[in-house]
Each structure stands twice: as C-alpha cells, then as structure tokens.
Amino acid sequence: MPRPLAILGSTGSIGINTLDVVTAHPEAFSVSGLAAGGNVELMVDQIARHRPSLVALSDAEAAERLSERVRGQNVAVRGGMDGVCEVATMDGAETVVSAIVGAQGLVPTLEAIRAGKTVALANKEVLVCAGELVVREARGQAALVPIDSEHSAIFQCLAGEDLSDVRRVILTASGGPFHGLSPQQMAAVTAQEALDHPNWEMGPKVTVDSATLMNKGLEVIEAHWLFDLPPERIEVVIHRQSIVHSLVEFVDGSLLAQLAPPDMRLPIAYALSYPRRLPMSQPGLSLVEIGQLSFERPDEETFPCLGYAYEALRRGGTMPTVLNAANEVAVQAFLEGTIAFLDIPRLIRASLDRHEPRPVASLDVVLEADRWAREITHEAVAVAADGG
C-alpha cells in the first residue's frame, strides 16, 4: 500500500519537490491532504493531479475561492490556520511533510506531532523558535525525520551509529551569492542579486537567509535539537560546490560524509522512505567532472548572522525565538525593497539586545516572544525605511 501523506506548504518549493517525488513513485506514496497559504491556481492544479480528500488554505478568503473552483470534486476545502491544523492531524495521513516557511508552521507541526504522525521536517524555523517544546512533545510520540539537506546528510551518516559515539557534526554552507564580497560591496546589493543562489533552487526566504549565512545559523540550532548536541560540537564550513551536504566526526576520528548533487528531491525522498531508499532517475555525481572539493572557514565578521545564531542558542530560552522572528521580519522587508541588505543583521542584533530570554515553558511563551520580536522589528524597519 502506498504511504498516505499530508503536505503542509504544498505550493512552496519543498512542497512542489515533494509532489514531484510522489509523482515519480505512485507505488510508494499517495496524497491525502494538502495545505498552503493562498495560491488558489496551483492548489486547483495539485488537487486535479493528486486527488487529496482534504485541503486547506490559511488565507480564508482564498479558501472560499478555491471552494468555488473545485465544487463537485471529491475534496473538502478548509480555510484559516484551523484548517491547516486539520490537514496536519487528519486520520488519512501517516506522514506529515512540514514545509510551511517560517514560525507560522509551528502550531500545525506541533499538532501533527501530538497526533502521533511521522513528521518529515523541512521547516527549520519550527525547531529554531520552539525546539525545546517540539522535542519534548515528540519524545515517544512521533518520529521526526529531517528534510533539510544538511540534517538529512547527518541523519544518513548516523544510521546504525550511536549518538554517544559522535564527537562533532560539521554543517556545510555554500556561502551564498555574496561570498567574498566586502561589507562595502554588500551595502548596495539588491533582493534580485540575493535571490540568485549559485547552487540551489529554493524559496525566496531561505535564499536570502543563505546570502546572510543566517540559514546556516538556523541550521546550527536545528542540529542542536535534532541530534542533541551542544553548540561547541556543531561546526560550520564553507563548501562552495554544495556536493558534501554535511559530515559527522566520531570519537575515533573517522569522518563520514554524505555526497550528492544539490537536488532537494533526494533528502525529501529519503525522509519519506526512511529507513529504505528509493531509486531516483536523476543522474548521480561525476567525481571526475567535479574534480575538486574545497572547504574554508566562514567569515563571521562580514556575515555576523551566523555568530548571532550561536549566541542565541547559547543564551537559550526564547532567545532563538526572537532571533528567528526578527530575521523573518527583516528578510521580508528586504525582499520588499524597504531596507538594505546590511540592515538585516543590524535589526536582528538590535532585537537580541533588547530581549531578556525566558524559559520555554509553554507554547504561549514562544508565541508571545515571537509576537514581541515581530513588533519591535517592524518598528525598527519603519525607522530604517525613513533613513534613520
């Protein structure tokens, strides 16, 4: 029997790649539920191709339009975040793909965990803003399988290993489009230049995060929660080719790495078929054509966001929640052309400096810190936009 999936964020980059994997493997997967933001056209198309029984759009008005468009078809349409949570917990799905971008994926992902689903996690912000809570809820309840390529690499290297034999993990970072630029050169870069990633095709938010290196910072926090490692045992190296997706060093000094072409369908398929592997039609690597692999230390002075993430993780509590929320607001403002690229780290720094972290005792504490950080960062964006 094909494994039934619910996909949260089906119209985004990870969602589209997940449906690609489903289409290529009808014997392995079927689609029970889809949830997205407000993209009615693409959802109509996905319903026609994948025949889910339940779909939701978080934009309630868009959900009404969708309802009109698919009237008479055998699919229930829901609107709002409640509807998204209904998809996340639906009886018909065994695995939930969590691929909504940003902290708004938190509540539906938690609901899926509480419902005992296997969660294939692409949304790193869920672990950044509420890792303690998510890991606590998942313990003994639900399996959490990473989709993020670096974490998938580590997860693959750890197969059959004991976590207590790990000395450290090494996350690789492409360095993004602005690798090697000076701060003066970066002051004038545009959103369009930031969106031009050298190796990966991704959504706009994660692509800008790659350009600031915040993406790697968020992934350090994600690795901390997924693999139960302290920050000093999680390292980052710049690896421009994006071929080695990450490495694990064991106590005997052995390093294991996972290598593959940069194609998200591979870690998605692994997360969905784990512990088995699915045959993929894409060609593998030609090591001879690649020729050389390079590794270098990240430039934390020019790209301070990486250090901010380590700092937030060390300080703990709601500090990573604030880091994430400030980053989401700043990146959105940069994409809209409201602030400059270098305002992103500056605004994040200012939000961290104003925050007194609290222990993550409940979801409410997380949501309150998230709301507070969004509010003060929005205010700072307005000041920056006025040239302040």
Q: How many residues bind Mg ion (CB under 5 A)?
A: 3
- Tell me how far, at minimum, the Cβ of 151 lies from Mg ion, in Å: 7
Place of tokens 């994600």: 222
Interaction between residue 125 and Mg ion (CB under 5 A): no
Strand order of the β-sheet with 95-98 is 76-79, 54-57, 29-36, 3-8, 95-98, 118-121, 144-146
Tell me whether residue 86 or residue 148 sits nearer to Mg ion (CB atom).
148
Tell me whether residue 148 or residue 343 sits nearer to Mg ion (CB atom).
148
CB 269 within 8 A of CB 280: yes
Tell me whether residue 11 or residue 123 sits nearer to Mg ion (CB atom).
123
Tell me whether residue 150 or residue 343 sits nearer to Mg ion (CB atom).
150
Tell me whether residue 149 or residue 327 sits nearer to Mg ion (CB atom).
149
Q: Which residue is nearest to Mg ion (CB)?
A: 148
Tell me whether residue 134 or residue 214 sits nearer to Mg ion (CB atom).
214
Reference 57, options 101, 11, 15, 119; nearest CA is 11
- Tell me how far, at minimum, the Cβ of 266 lies from Mg ion, in Å: 12
What is the Cα–Cα distance from 27 to 40, expressed in whole angstroms? 28
Reference 149, options 277, 267, 278; nearest CA is 267
How many CA atoms does the CB half-sphere of 335 hold within 13 Å? 16
CB 178 within 8 A of CB 211: yes
Tell me whether residue 90 or residue 244 sits nearer to Mg ion (CB atom).
244
Find the binding residues for Mg ion in span 38-97 (CB under 5 A): none
Tell me whether residue 137 or residue 150 sits nearer to Mg ion (CB atom).
150
Beta bridge pairs of residue 248: 169, 256
Q: What is the DSSP string of 293-317?
A: ---B---TTT-THHHHHHHHHHH-T
Helices (H), the chain: 13-24, 40-50, 60-69, 80-88, 106-114, 124-138, 149-157, 183-186, 191-194, 204-212, 214-227, 265-273, 287-290, 305-315, 319-335, 343-354, 363-385
- Tell me how far, at minimum, the Cβ of 150 lies from Mg ion, in Å: 5
- Tell me how far, at minimum, the Cβ of 320 lies from Mg ion, in Å: 17
Helices 319-335 + 214-227 axis angle, to 10:
150
Find the binding residues for Mg ion in span 319-338 (CB under 5 A): none
Find the binding residues for Mg ion in span 144-203 (CB under 5 A): 148-150
**Among the candidate windows 77-85, 87-95, 143-151, 344-352, which touches Mg ion by CB under 5 A?**
143-151
- Tell me how far, at minimum, the Cβ of 173 lies from Mg ion, in Å: 9
Find the binding residues for Mg ion in span 263-292 (CB under 5 A): none
**Among the candidate windows 21-29, 141-149, 156-164, 252-260, which touches Mg ion by CB under 5 A?**
141-149
- Tell me how far, at minimum, the Cβ of 228 lies from Mg ion, in Å: 19
- Tell me how far, at minimum, the Cβ of 247 lies from Mg ion, in Å: 14
Reference 46, options 21, 16, 71; nearest CA is 16
- Tell me how far, at minimum, the Cβ of 149 lies from Mg ion, in Å: 5
Pairing of strands 244-250, 166-173: antiparallel
Reference 278, options 29, 13, 93, 49; nearest CA is 29
- Tell me how far, at minimum, the Cβ of 222 lies from Mg ion, in Å: 9
Tell me whether residue 95 or residue 210 sits nearer to Mg ion (CB atom).
210
Binding site residues, Mg ion, CB under 5 A? 148-150
